[in-house]
Structure 1
Amino acid sequence: MTTTKTEPERVRLDKWLWAARFFKTRALSAEAIDKGRVNVNGQAAKASREPRVGDTVEFRQGNDLRTVVVRGLSSVRGPAPVAQQLYEETPESVARRLASAEQRRLAPEPALSQTQGRPTKRDRRTLKDWGNRWSASLDDGDAN
Structure 2
Amino acid sequence: MIRVDIHTGKAASGRPSMETPFHTGLYRARPEVGAVVHLHPPSSTTLAVIGRNLRPAITPEGVLVLGERVPMIDYATPGTGALADNIVTQLGSCNACLLRSHGALAVGKDIMDAFGRMETLEYIASLQLGCETLGGLDDLPPQEIARMLSKD
Q: Which has the larger radius of gyration?
A: 1
The answer to which structure, 1 or 2, has the higher relative contact order (CA under 8 A, 6+ apart) is 2
Q: Which has the higher helix share?
A: 2
Common fold: TM-score over 0.5: no
Question: Shorter-normalised TM-score: what interval?
Answer: under 0.3
